[in-house]
Structure 1
Amino acid sequence: MPKLPLSDLRVVEIGSGDQLGYCGKLFSDFGAEVIKIEPPGGDPMRRHAPLIDAGRGKSESGVFAWLNTNKHSVIADLADAADVATIKTLLQSCDLLLDARPPADIPISFLTHDDLRRDNPGLAITAISWFGENGLYSDFHTTDSICRALAGCVKLVGAKEGPPVLPRDGQISVMTALTAFIPTLAGLYGRKRGARRFAVSAHAAMLHISEFDTGLALESGFTRPRTALNRFGRGYPVGNFQTRDGWLGITVVTPAQWAAFCGMLGLPELEKEAKFTDGLVRSVNSAELAAIFQPILLQKSAQEWFEMGIELRIPLAVVPSMEELLRQPYYRERGAFADVTIGSASFEAPVLPQRLTGSLPLANGKAPLAGSDDVASFRPRDRIATRQATLDDPLPLKGLRIVDLTMGWAGPTATRQMGDLGADVIKVESCQYPDWFRGTDPRGPYHPERTYEKVYWFQQMNRNKRGITLDLTQPKGLALLKRLIADADAVIDNYAADVMPRLGLDPDAMRKLNPRLIVVTMPAFGMTGAWSGVRAYGSTLEQASGLPSITGSEGDPPTMVHTALGDPYGGVSAAAALMIGFMHQKRTGEGQHIDLSATEALLPMVAPSVIEQSVTGTTSPRLGNRHPRFVPHGCFPCIGEDQWLTIAVRSDEEWQALCKVIHRPDLAEDATLATADGRRADEDRIEVAIRHWTMTVRPELAMNALQDAGVPAGTARLPMDMAGDPHLLSTGHWQPVTRRFMGPHLLPSVAYREGSSRAPYAITRLAPTLGQHNEEVLREVLGLADSEIAELRNAEIIGDTATSKKSKTVAPAT
């Protein structure tokens, strides 16, 4: 069996939590030897539902088992000096320590990072925490819902009158783990230059999701309102709609999609009606429009409508329950689910979506029982790093070159991660068809005022890249792209599955040009299978993943989270896959095709519910804003218009503290409420009492009062609030820059810090203007003479100004 890409690494995990667990799983399922250090009695997550009988009277958490496939388990008490000495000995032969202990605990422990870096200079360290090691929130008491609320990912979700909807736990873990994994593996890729330490903030990682709306607000001064359940963005119809059998996800945006949708319904006359001509107008008249088409949708099943949508290129999706998701042929054919075993128990769960076709990840596998291994069983080994890297060393990916054929949000997010870490990312557009994040409406000021250079979203997604233009419909333009690919380390696109093959540049063709090339494709449903031609937006991916069926309250329709989750999650998933590909390329000299399905990239977010379905044969009723372990738990109104505070009580001690803050000694003294089970039985009364207090207090003051008392609480912020968030300002997250056409503006930073630095990496390149680096790249990379470059410009193969002529070959990215 060939070695997996990370099989040369030894990793130790310390701490607990699903963020740490998923980051470690990315290493272990790609072959790294991952050793989990658990406290006496085992990791607390082993006791989280759903529990399964693992044999010999042991109950184990299914989610914990999935997060810890292919790992080892060692029991050690980190408060015991002898146990710590044993762990230090183990770390001397390890490449990486993943540490999820609270930041305040590490410097006062027996196992400090300063000591490890001094005594063990070849050890890389990545610390994962909710808010990072510095800043105003670094010591906050928090949960998934608190962090999500403070990151601007809650307030826009739900009915207009509120409260905002709190999605299920488990989603932050995936984004945070991927955000940690990317720089960590980049550091290990370049470990000959020294071992690196990173400190990762889950809160900052979640800004990958809200930054789209933050950019909209910074550009326009406007944040879209929370209007209703399943009202996604400002267009219509976008949401989940009932059919004869099941729910159908619809995302109609462009005029062509609206015309095709009307035709599909047998109502072509609707297309030209003035009150339905564009998305904003349809949104205003949504009730009237829904009354027309909803009865027609009830005439066919969701599957039938979906199949019609494939033919008509309308972004539609079946919104599956967990039971339906597990048996859908598309996912089965691509191997998206596989068995997890722990003890004598076995169940199904999602496989890592980083589908490196030449070195697939392990399809889940066996999870360890607590203490199943002994430190003495791990033999000493040499490692490559011999010193600690410093901030004066080159960034870890310096020397790698990536040809970036992506557009929009998802693909550029992937390549942004690479550029942030030092790779030379060459973004290829054309004057005839610029990146659609520069704007989709070519009318009015688009050309004369160059509004395509002034869109905030484009600036955010394309920092630290060089930009060129090539008309790929002309033979010389296509030939130049092939020359770039022939000398690159990787190429990535997020077009629909059929676009690059029509140019003669399918993955096999590109690898013939360059056998060591890593080719990343990331269409909505991958390059293979019956759904490979499905057109999709981020909303379509969310719908197809089944996430809406576990979000919201029982009795509500499947509930969307009102942001294009598929884009940021797909982007960081692709970046993680690309880093794994680079590790394989460096060891073997071989390239390969990475066939990423952007929809499969969302499956880890529903893993807890998939596992529950597999283990129990059913999925628990949706709890709305309540929580299966924490009680009380919810989003409560405060003084002011549409002001909300998220509160989570994790323990009986926190319950007593909450009662004191809200001035309810009667509740604190009520013996029936002293335990979580008792409080759950009377949660309605408790929530009324909390609302009576929160409605008299401003959200910031309420949050601070509860945090001071040790109770997790966080204001439900809008994305536009992020630019003035006091914690983000204190950590230097926003970097002020000035760019031609844009003028002064703010750009977000990476979600991690290197070493002990409080400052993020500086942004070294602002997003390129159209064709900004044509001469630089064509001269330096391809060796063209000035005369050749002039000929290309005269033939309009390159240029720096958008034209109204549209390419007949290249289609929009998904």
Structure 2
Amino acid sequence: MSVSHESTTSTELADLVVVEIGTGLSGAFAARILGDFGAAVTKIEPPGGDPLRDPSWPGGLDGLLFEYLNWNKRSAVLDLGDSLDRDRLRERIRTADIVVTSLDPAQARSLGLTPADLRSWTRQGVVVSVTGFGSDGPYADLAATELIVQALGGVMSISGATEREPVKRGLRQSTYYAGLNAAYAAMAGVYASRTSGESALIDVAVRDCVAAELVMNQSLYAFLGVLQSRPPATADPFGGYPLPCADGFVTVQASTAAPMCRLAELFGEPALTLPRYASKERRTALAGELREILAPHLEAVAARELFVDASKDGFLVGVVQDASQMLGCDQLEARGAFQSFPNIAGHTGDPMRFPASLGRFSGWRETVPTRRAPRLGEESQSTSDVGDAAGAARPGEPALDQLRVLDLSQVFAGPYLGGLLADFGADVVKIESPYRLDQARTDYGGYFDNDPGEDPWNRTSTFQVINRGKRAISLDLKSERGTGIFRRLVAGADIVIENFTPGVLARLGLGYEALRKINPRLIMLSNSGFGSTGPWSGFKAQGTTLEATMGISRYTGYHGGPPMKAGQSYPDFLATWTGLVGVFAALLGRQRTGRGQWIDLGMYELGVSVMPEAILRHQVDGKEYERVGNDEIDALASGVVSCAGDEEWLAFSATTDEQVQRLLRIVSGAAAVRGRDVGTAVAEWTTDLEAAKAARTLQEAGIAAGKVLDARDLLADPQLVHRGFYEVVDGFRDLSPRPIIGRPFTWSGGGIEVRTRGRAPRFAEHTTAVLCDDAGVSPDEVVADSRTGAVALTPKNPLPASANDYSEMLGNRSILSVGGAYSDVVADAVASLCARVPASEKTTAAVATADEHGGAQ
């Protein structure tokens, strides 16, 4: 959390009691986030303490990572192998609201402390398990590291360069965003248990969190058979890839708001307006030529200068920043992104600055870390920091499946957040402009079977995943009539989601201050690139430019190579998951006070929260982490090597000397490899070996390993099938049922089913029903309003659409296949997913159907 606008309201989660078990980073981060919002968190540590306390722990930064993950907590020492201490743990859990456990599944079974065991000890609490692959299933006991979950999660298959091996995203980010997922799921669980009286069990898999990033990648395959690979080393320079400047790197994104004619003005280069550079496919084919055109202009300007000046002019531009630049960033300072503690100083003697921002909340006093991480066994309590277990809900508070959400957002982070709320049963109404289609309704992600049809805005693949289960209407908020109807809808809403440029809604008379006069209970989430305050608040942004500016690209890339982007739209996922943390925290707060609030989420500042190692290390020794390809921070030997077959890759990671020796005995028959490094030895071993077989061999020996999976592989992955990660959606015109990504956790209890509720809505599909039922507008008025343009039943003046030409990408192997036999693969996946669910439950679990009217059912 960060600075708030009011100081009269107490921290709203102060009635939550949390018990944290295990030594995993993800679970510790999730529990710390709950403490950030005021919960009383007790960390259960083994005799001797959490290994992160040891200054020599790999990647622990002299114990500073322990400080980052454990402020605002208390510490209790229990030997979980001792029956009396387990009884003491049982007593703590009996009165807890939330239990966060990251015990290894095999250890949990041996101790009788599985998530199901822990749930049986609670009265009305929520148990959240966070492990590498989930607490059960065929992969549950596999060794997991950052590299391995990124490989098996699929993000590496589209990261790196086609000419090289797949590359992982830098540092340990999946560790932290798994914690974000666990935190929001925990709060959703508490809300559900309070309104239902039933405990809940939530099982988060870090690997599934990685796979959940593949929304666009997976839907491209499931809806049109496009199997993506890595981009070519020299890609479209206007596709958000880092470009060298005089003193660093920038990213530039071509868009409808910044077409090539405007970019020609930015660089003073008329040649950029030539038709040959008009499409991203042709720009990729001519990337070398384009870079030669740009080089003289880029070499003459400083990266940050170009970023600031171009951003002020409305361009989508990013700048690759390192930790030192972010620590000195005026925007992060203005947003309160860092927090310091007395007596924790860096190498310069200045107080250490820890990433500490999850957005700004209008309804709460400033809540920042008030206590540094506890000493081992430090469990002092005061009346101000101990919660009341199982706090009672206010009478009349709606259950999760009774919430009403108005979604004004477009493209990705906001819509996906709304789609996930719909999974909890919320009635989410997507409100679209008659005159400007959501970009996700255009060719963003491709059309079904690469055929735009007569209504292309209803046939885009990615839109189906991020907008599932919603209803849709179209209102012109620039008209007096349109804003009037919107205000009527606000009166009965619980949540509004928007991602307009800061200030736009206020100028329309629809800012939070105006809306809360209509509905004081309203919770409003505003998601923007840089937040509503600070010197960069007016800058435009999207995933490709933010990934660089956040610093993620600085630490991603091959040894000795330039910075790279990884995956697709990564910052949007951080915003989605962090936004859900804020929304569920605000809902729990509203249970106590009956008041809503405004959440001001700036995507840029979220980056530092998932890269604490870089931020802290610079302050420890003044150094930066370098780009190291697939080397892991805490591994002695790790990498990705080619195997037999086309695009077959094995990721491996050995974290101890003993594991390294065991690895070498397997691959070379000896515990030492003279004159060669471990990676070379593994690469020679896998030359004629299938990646999946090699991974099994290493995992059976207790060495973390996995095949780098792609979108096609993931559909048939036995662990994902076991966990129901993909859910089947039906109800498309002229299209068979399709699998879409669900959530990175399984859920049971809480009085609700968490599942995909139906397909995404067609444009304005529910306008008449929503306006008549929810806004008190008569059918005749809807007809009249549609004539004036205040309401639309079809989009006004949509741009022409055509099938995409993938030949250039097939030629450079950034796409491996299009169409073909993909429908058979998808049909097999659908059959497999349906087979795991009893026939009587198919419409309420793995298969969410929708009739001709679509939307939530």
TM-score between both structures, scaled by the size of structure 1: 0.89
Question: Deviation digits for residues 233-255 of structure 1, max 9, x if unmatched?
Answer: x6735311222233222222337
Q: Percent identity?
A: 27
Conservation of the 8 A alpha-carbon contact between 1:122 and 1:385: no
Conservation of the 8 A alpha-carbon contact between 2:223 and 2:738: no
Name the residue aligned to 2:601.
596
Could you say if the C-alpha distance between residues 441 and 567 of structure 1 is closer, same or farther in structure 2, counting changes exceeding 3 Å? closer
Distance (Å, rounded) in 2 between the aligned partners of 1:382 and 1:527: 35
Could you say if the C-alpha distance between residues 514 and 756 of structure 1 is closer, same or farther in structure 2, counting changes exceeding 3 Å? closer
Name the residue aligned to 2:219.
215
Could you say if the C-alpha distance between residues 321 and 447 of structure 1 is closer, same or farther in structure 2, counting changes exceeding 3 Å? closer
The alpha carbon displacement at 1:552 in A equals 2.3
Question: Deviation digits for residues 89-128 of structure 1, max 9, x if unmatched?
Answer: 2223321110111223323314454444444322321111
Distance (Å, rounded) in 1 between the aligned partners of 2:465 and 2:172: 26
Name the residue aligned to 1:679.
none
Name the residue aligned to 2:308.
307
* Counterpart AA for 1:217: Y
Name the residue aligned to 1:403.
406
* Counterpart AA for 2:75: S
Distance (Å, rounded) in 2 between the aligned partners of 1:684 and 1:469: 64
- Structure 2 residue aligned with 1:526, among 514, 527, 531? 531
SS state at 1:496 partner: coil
Distance (Å, rounded) in 1 between the aligned partners of 2:386 and 2:633: 43
Conservation of the 8 A alpha-carbon contact between 1:52 and 1:62: no
Distance (Å, rounded) in 2 between the aligned partners of 1:535 and 1:592: 25
Worse-matched range after superposition: 509-518 or 336-345: 336-345
Distance (Å, rounded) in 2 between the aligned partners of 1:410 and 1:683: 49
The alpha carbon displacement at 1:437 in A equals 0.7
Say yes or no: does 1:665 pair with 2:656: no
Could you say if the C-alpha distance between residues 532 and 50 of structure 1 is closer, same or farther in structure 2, counting changes exceeding 3 Å? farther
* Counterpart AA for 2:13: L
Could you say if the C-alpha distance between residues 202 and 51 of structure 1 is closer, same or farther in structure 2, counting changes exceeding 3 Å? closer
Say yes or no: does 1:321 pair with 2:322: yes
Could you say if the C-alpha distance between residues 288 and 343 of structure 1 is closer, same or farther in structure 2, counting changes exceeding 3 Å? closer
Distance (Å, rounded) in 2 between the aligned partners of 1:277 and 1:353: 39
Structure 2 unaligned spans of 5+: 1-6, 800-857
Name the residue aligned to 1:548.
553
Name the residue aligned to 1:429.
432
Conservation of the 8 A alpha-carbon contact between 2:177 and 2:209: yes
TM-score between both structures, scaled by the size of structure 2: 0.85
Counterparts of 1:729-808 in structure 2, within 5 Å, are: 729-741=721-733, 742-755=735-748, 761-804=754-797
Say yes or no: does 1:724 pair with 2:716: yes
Distance (Å, rounded) in 1 between the aligned partners of 2:504 and 2:163: 43
* Counterpart AA for 1:792: D
Name the residue aligned to 1:499.
504
Could you say if the C-alpha distance between residues 247 and 118 of structure 1 is closer, same or farther in structure 2, counting changes exceeding 3 Å? closer
SS state at 1:105 partner: helix
* Counterpart AA for 1:158: G
Could you say if the C-alpha distance between residues 740 and 160 of structure 1 is closer, same or farther in structure 2, counting changes exceeding 3 Å? closer
Counterparts of 1:261-272 in structure 2, within 5 Å, are: 261-267=263-269, 269-272=270-273
SS state at 1:784 partner: coil
Name the residue aligned to 2:141.
139
Counterparts of 1:539-618 in structure 2, within 5 Å, are: 539-618=544-623
Could you say if the C-alpha distance between residues 279 and 110 of structure 1 is closer, same or farther in structure 2, counting changes exceeding 3 Å? closer
SS state at 2:706 partner: strand
Structure 1 unaligned spans of 5+: 54-58, 388-393, 674-681, 807-814
Distance (Å, rounded) in 2 between the aligned partners of 1:803 and 1:443: 21
Question: Deviation digits for residues 476-498 of structure 1, max 9, x if unmatched?
Answer: 12211111122211211112224
Distance (Å, rounded) in 1 between the aligned partners of 2:284 and 2:634: 38
SS state at 1:238 partner: coil
* Counterpart AA for 1:474: S
Name the residue aligned to 2:828.
none
- Structure 1 residue aligned with 2:642, among 637, 640, 643? 637
Worse-matched range after superposition: 212-221 or 518-527: 212-221
Counterparts of 1:150-161 in structure 2, within 5 Å, are: 150-161=152-163
Conservation of the 8 A alpha-carbon contact between 1:736 and 1:747: yes
Distance (Å, rounded) in 2 between the aligned partners of 1:135 and 1:110: 18
Conservation of the 8 A alpha-carbon contact between 1:197 and 1:755: yes
Could you say if the C-alpha distance between residues 91 and 230 of structure 1 is closer, same or farther in structure 2, counting changes exceeding 3 Å? farther
The alpha carbon displacement at 1:798 in A equals 3.1
Name the residue aligned to 2:656.
651
Distance (Å, rounded) in 1 between the aligned partners of 2:719 and 2:146: 17
Worse-matched range after superposition: 438-447 or 735-744: 438-447
SS state at 2:484 partner: helix
Could you say if the C-alpha distance between residues 367 and 793 of structure 1 is closer, same or farther in structure 2, counting changes exceeding 3 Å? same
Question: Deviation digits for residues 371-419 of structure 1, max 9, x if unmatched?
Answer: 24248989997533799xxxxxx99512221111011111112112211
- Structure 1 residue aligned with 2:688, among 668, 676, 696? 696
The alpha carbon displacement at 1:170 in A equals 2.3
The alpha carbon displacement at 1:762 in A equals 3.5
Question: Deviation digits for residues 245-300 of structure 1, max 9, x if unmatched?
Answer: 33222222337332222112111x22331321222211111101101111211112
Counterparts of 1:57-456 in structure 2, within 5 Å, are: 60-192=62-194, 193-194=196-197, 195-229=199-233, 231=235, 236-254=238-256, 256-267=258-269, 269-340=270-341, 346-359=351-364, 362-374=367-379, 383-384=389-390, 397-440=400-443, 449-456=454-461
Conservation of the 8 A alpha-carbon contact between 2:99 and 2:125: yes
Distance (Å, rounded) in 2 between the aligned partners of 1:651 and 1:312: 52
Could you say if the C-alpha distance between residues 327 and 360 of structure 1 is closer, same or farther in structure 2, counting changes exceeding 3 Å? farther
* Counterpart AA for 1:109: L
SS state at 2:319 partner: strand
SS state at 1:633 partner: strand
* Counterpart AA for 1:142: A
Name the residue aligned to 1:677.
none
The alpha carbon displacement at 1:527 in A equals 1.0
Distance (Å, rounded) in 1 between the aligned partners of 2:490 and 2:307: 36
SS state at 1:239 partner: coil
Could you say if the C-alpha distance between residues 100 and 220 of structure 1 is closer, same or farther in structure 2, counting changes exceeding 3 Å? same
SS state at 1:177 partner: helix
Distance (Å, rounded) in 2 between the aligned partners of 1:282 and 1:243: 20
**What is the total number of aligned residue pairs between the two structures?**
778
Distance (Å, rounded) in 2 between the aligned partners of 1:717 and 1:158: 14
Question: Deviation digits for residues 664-691 of structure 1, max 9, x if unmatched?
Answer: 232x1x4xx8xxxxxxxx8952211111
Say yes or no: does 1:685 pair with 2:687: no
Could you say if the C-alpha distance between residues 634 and 381 of structure 1 is closer, same or farther in structure 2, counting changes exceeding 3 Å? closer
Conservation of the 8 A alpha-carbon contact between 2:635 and 2:654: yes
* Counterpart AA for 1:787: D
Worse-matched range after superposition: 716-725 or 538-547: 716-725
Conservation of the 8 A alpha-carbon contact between 1:406 and 1:492: yes
SS state at 2:300 partner: coil
- Structure 2 residue aligned with 1:31, among 38, 46, 52? 38
Could you say if the C-alpha distance between residues 659 and 285 of structure 1 is closer, same or farther in structure 2, counting changes exceeding 3 Å? same
The alpha carbon displacement at 1:9 in A equals 0.6
Distance (Å, rounded) in 2 between the aligned partners of 1:686 and 1:760: 48
Distance (Å, rounded) in 2 between the aligned partners of 1:341 and 1:168: 30
CA RMSD in angstroms comes to 3.0
Conservation of the 8 A alpha-carbon contact between 1:462 and 1:768: yes
Conservation of the 8 A alpha-carbon contact between 2:27 and 2:179: yes
The alpha carbon displacement at 1:610 in A equals 0.3
